[in-house]
Every structure is written in C-alpha cells, then in structure tokens.
Structure 1
Amino acid sequence: MTLTRRLALAMGASLLALATTAQAQDALRVGAYPANPPWQNQNEDGTFEGFEVDIVTEIASRMGRTVEIQPYDFRALFVATASGRADMVISSLTITDERLEAQSFTQPYVEGALGIGTREGAGIDSLDDLNGKVVGAIATSFGETYLKEHEADAGYAELRSYDTVANMLTDLQNGRIEAVVNDEVGLRYAFQQMQGLTVGGAIQTGELFAMMMPKDSPLLEEVNGHISDMKSDGTMARLYESWLGAAPAEGSVTVTPMPVPTSASGN
C-alpha cells in the first residue's frame, strides 16, 4: 500500500470518527420508564412510542438535534438527570416542591389525576374506601407520596411499593393487593388489556406533568420555549388528542404557554 493510500485511509477514518462524535453530541439524551402507555412505551423492537415521546421528538427536531431514548426504572430516572446521564426524562412526572429542590422541570403540559385501580365489583371508589385495604403504588411516585401523606384519611392496612407497573397490576389481578393508586390515564389504558380490572374512582390532586431536567440545565429555557411554541401553534393539542382520544380543554395547561416553574403550582 502506498503512503498516499495509507494517508487517505487514515484521514477517512478520522473524519468518520469526528462525524460520529458530532452526531452523538447532537443527540438529545432522554430517559424514560419503558412501560407507561400512553405517555411512553418501549416496543419489542426497542423503539419508543407515546404522547411524551412525540413531544421530545418534536422538541429535538426544532433544536436541530436527534433524540436518543433510554429505558430506566422509575427511581433511576431521578439519578439519570442528577448525574447528567440524561438531558431530560419523561414518564408522566409530577412537579413537586421537593423534586424542584434537586431537579428542574419544564412547564407542565398535562394536569393529571390519580386513579384508584381495583378488581371489578370491589366497591372501592374513593380514598375512604381504602380503609383497611392492602394498597399498592410505584416506589417514589407521586401516588405513593400522596398515599403516605394521606395515610390518616385513607386508613389503609398496608402500603406496598413496586418497582414496575406490570408487577403491581399483576398482584392486583391475582388478589395479592386490593387496590392500586397511580396515574389515572395510565391505569385506564392498561385496563383495556387486562380483564377484571377497573378504575373505581379518581382523586383530583391538581398535579401537573412535565419533563424533568438536571438542576439549572443550560438547555432548560430553550426546551421550555419550544414547548410554548408547540402550545401556541397547535402541535401540543394535536398530539394530545392523538394519544388521549379527546381535545384538550380550552385554557388548560396543555394549550397555555407558561414559564419554567419555580413551584409545584407550575408558576
């Protein structure tokens, strides 16, 4: 091989390495709990789909970047942003004052509620009906925090923490627990594929769903600005209706541009 040929090959390899590095730097690193439809769900081929997946994909496009979504256990999502391994995480995450101490959040795009999942005919329709019952929730989730804060009102016999929604709902279906408290939309979606389970009632908490990012991330204001633009130009409403089956309410957080929140109220 001639010297010229070797130099050409070496230069080509260097350019390829630089291109690969540049491509990796352009990627928006997103962490997601992989089994949380319709917000996000990882398919058998490893791809993600869902309402929040479409949101981050659109944001990345408007930033001129690609998106790389990696699966994490729910509790690991908080470590991913705190350690800088993820630029943002999605998973119908509720803004709380406690979380804002260590993380940053974008403006909210959904006002959520907690659903009480039970077996059909259980007669568990409200927080009061959890009295004396064995109840399940996802560890460190807003649902678990809410139940702990309202233990005196609920009067449940035991609160069991789960790492995955699948395990929690399997235990509910098999009678190992009597009720679960989790995101209402997610429960209704899951119960379409699970016989014998229903959402007995909803707890209106006023919780606001948003994307979580590392504390004071340099990308925060830019990402928040794109969310505002998506609300203003109708993109957010279109995605919401596509995944949740109804148009968002007029004046709701789904269509109202907001600043980066400094408190759990979203203000």
Structure 2
Amino acid sequence: MNRPLITLVGAAVPGLSATAQAAEPLKIGISAEPYPPFTYTSSAGEWTGFEVELGMAICEAMGRACEITPTGWSGIIPSLKAGRIDMIMNSMSITEARQRVIDFSEPYYFTPGAFVAADDLELGGPDDLGGQVLGVQAATTNATYARRALRDSVDDIRLYDQAEQVNRDLLSGRLDVILADEIAMTEFLERDEAEGFEIKATAPRHAAYGEGVGIGIRQDDDALEADLNAAIAKVREDGTCGALSEDYFGTDICT
C-alpha cells in the first residue's frame, strides 16, 4: 500500500494540452489535518494515502510534475482562488454551493455519510437521533446535510474543525453519534480503540452530498480541467484507480 511517492513524471496521455508538458509543478492541495486512509503521513513523515497516490498517478497521466501542499481545510478554497495551490484533491464533494466559487473535474469516487455509535446504542437511521449528541466536521457535506436535514430531529449538533477531533470525542463519550464519510469510518473502526463501535446506518442521498468527489480547480482554468478529465478517464480505464482503491479499501470506489 505504501509505495514510494511519484514526484517526477513521464509520458503524457495523447490528446492532453501542450501546456501540460515542461511546466512548473502543480501544487495539489490537501488538508493539513490527516484524513486516513485518503491522506496521512507515513512513518517516514511523507504524505501518502489513496488520494495522494491517485493524485500522483493522475499527474503522471498528464505528464506533469506535482507536489503535495498541505493546507488547513477551512482555508483550502481561498488558497486555491489565491493561487497558492493549483487544485484540491481531498475528498471534496461537487456541490452547487462550491460550484459557485470554484470548478471541478469529473468525479472520481462517491461515498455516502455514515452514522457511527457504540454497538449497544439502538439507532436505525436519522429518525432515531432524538436525544443524542451528534458530532460532525464543519465545512463538509456531512455538516451541510446535518444542518439541512437533521435540525428538527437532533437537539445537539456539535461542529469540529478536524475529523480526528470528532473521532476522539466519540471514543471518550462526549458524543453519542458521529456522521462522517463511510469509507473513512470503515478505516477508523479497524483501530483497537474503536472496538465496541459500529456503523449504524448511512445517510440517504441528499442534495447536500452533491454529485460525487472531484478535483477542485479555479474557475475558467479550462486547460487544466480538460487535462484532469482525460487523466481521470485514463486511470479508471487502465485499472490504476481501481487497484489503489482495492489496496486501501478492499473494494472499488472509483466512479
């Protein structure tokens, strides 16, 4: 799973724009807060994970050098718009609200939100959340869903800056339930300290979750968008995305 990260790339995909060659490295913005198994630091201190490896494979398909640029999640879109990073590849769902300020590539995966709680808590879905304390990471599609769909059924919704803060407060008993990405929660539940917790239900399809996860880019960056879409298609068709997904999740989540 932890293969060496690719920093320099080779042949480009036929049909990609000529500007995709011999240019400055593209800066891939990811959250500075680890989000395993999508983005996290290895024991050697290097960033790795499903999206880091997939991002490098996409860059290789474009014939571009890329570098990982950690950025605080709450400021990642402003960093993109200001030119400090060139794209966001950090499980960012394509939503109507975000499309007002940035553009996206084609989606490369989709996963629903999941409700996680102690295994002895009776919880069949969102309608059973009355009286529970729910935790969710702020500025995420799960937070948007909670705000839009759960305000009338949950008395106490607590927002956190980082996903790991939500996880810790669930384990410590300060939260009864958390709502987070299902794949990330599957990984979280494999930890020894998460014994006794389980996924109770997944959130229903809702406009808050958008069309899937795509790579965020600046508006009107048409050449990069075209190159990314061609490269995403290539890594899907040649099995690279599926193989990485199987490595990290045991299933193919690539759209």
TM-score (norm 2): 0.82
Corresponding position of 1:215: 219
1:136 aligns with 2:135: yes
Aligned residue pair count:
226
Higher strand share: 1
Greater shift, 178-187 or 189-198, is seen at 189-198
Greater shift, 28-37 or 39-48, is seen at 39-48
Q: Distance in 2 between matches of 1:63 and 1:161?
A: 38
Corresponding position of 2:92: 93
- Percent identity over paired residues: 26
Q: Distance in 2 between matches of 1:137 and 1:61?
A: 35
Corresponding position of 2:148: 149
Deviation digits for residues 218-248 of structure 1 (CA, Å, limit 9, x no counterpart)? 4111111111122222222222222220245
SS of structure 1 residue aligned to 2:90? strand
Q: CA deviation at 1:197?
A: 2.4
Deviation digits for residues 78-128 of structure 1 (CA, Å, limit 9, x no counterpart)? 222121211111221111011001011111111210000112211223111
Q: CA deviation at 1:74?
A: 1.9
Q: CA deviation at 1:129?
A: 1.5
Corresponding position of 1:242: 247
Q: Distance in 1 between matches of 2:237 and 2:147?
A: 38
Q: CA deviation at 1:188?
A: 1.3
Q: Distance in 2 between matches of 1:52 and 1:45?
A: 18
Q: Distance in 1 between matches of 2:52 and 2:129?
A: 34
Asked if structure 2 preserves the Cα contact closer than 8 Å seen for 1:32 and 1:72, the reply is: yes
Corresponding position of 2:4: none
SS of structure 2 residue aligned to 1:180? strand
Q: Distance in 1 between matches of 2:73 and 2:139?
A: 8
> Structure 2: which amino acid aligns with 1:176?
R
Asked if structure 2 preserves the Cα contact closer than 8 Å seen for 1:90 and 1:210, the reply is: yes
Pick aligned residue for 1:191 from 158, 177, 189: 189
Bigger Rg over Cα: 1
Corresponding position of 1:173: 171
> Structure 2: which amino acid aligns with 1:157?
D
Asked if structure 2 preserves the Cα contact closer than 8 Å seen for 1:73 and 1:163, the reply is: no
Greater shift, 73-82 or 176-185, is seen at 73-82
Pick closer, same or farther for the CA change 1:42–1:53 going to 2, 3 Å. same
Q: CA deviation at 1:152?
A: 4.7
Asked if structure 1 preserves the Cα contact closer than 8 Å seen for 2:61 and 2:235, the reply is: no
> Structure 1: which amino acid aligns with 2:234?
D
> Structure 2: which amino acid aligns with 1:203?
A
Corresponding position of 2:121: 122
Asked if structure 2 preserves the Cα contact closer than 8 Å seen for 1:73 and 1:164, the reply is: no
Asked if structure 1 preserves the Cα contact closer than 8 Å seen for 2:126 and 2:150, the reply is: no
Instruction: Note the 1:159-170 alignment, pairs <5 A.
Output: 159-170=157-168
Asked if structure 2 preserves the Cα contact closer than 8 Å seen for 1:137 and 1:162, the reply is: yes
Pick closer, same or farther for the CA change 1:76–1:97 going to 2, 3 Å. same
SS of structure 2 residue aligned to 1:110? coil
Asked if structure 1 preserves the Cα contact closer than 8 Å seen for 2:106 and 2:229, the reply is: yes
Structure 1 vs Structure 2 CA RMSD: 1.9
Q: Distance in 2 between matches of 1:180 and 1:45?
A: 31
Q: Distance in 1 between matches of 2:179 and 2:123?
A: 11
Q: Distance in 2 between matches of 1:121 and 1:46?
A: 38
TM-score (norm 1): 0.79
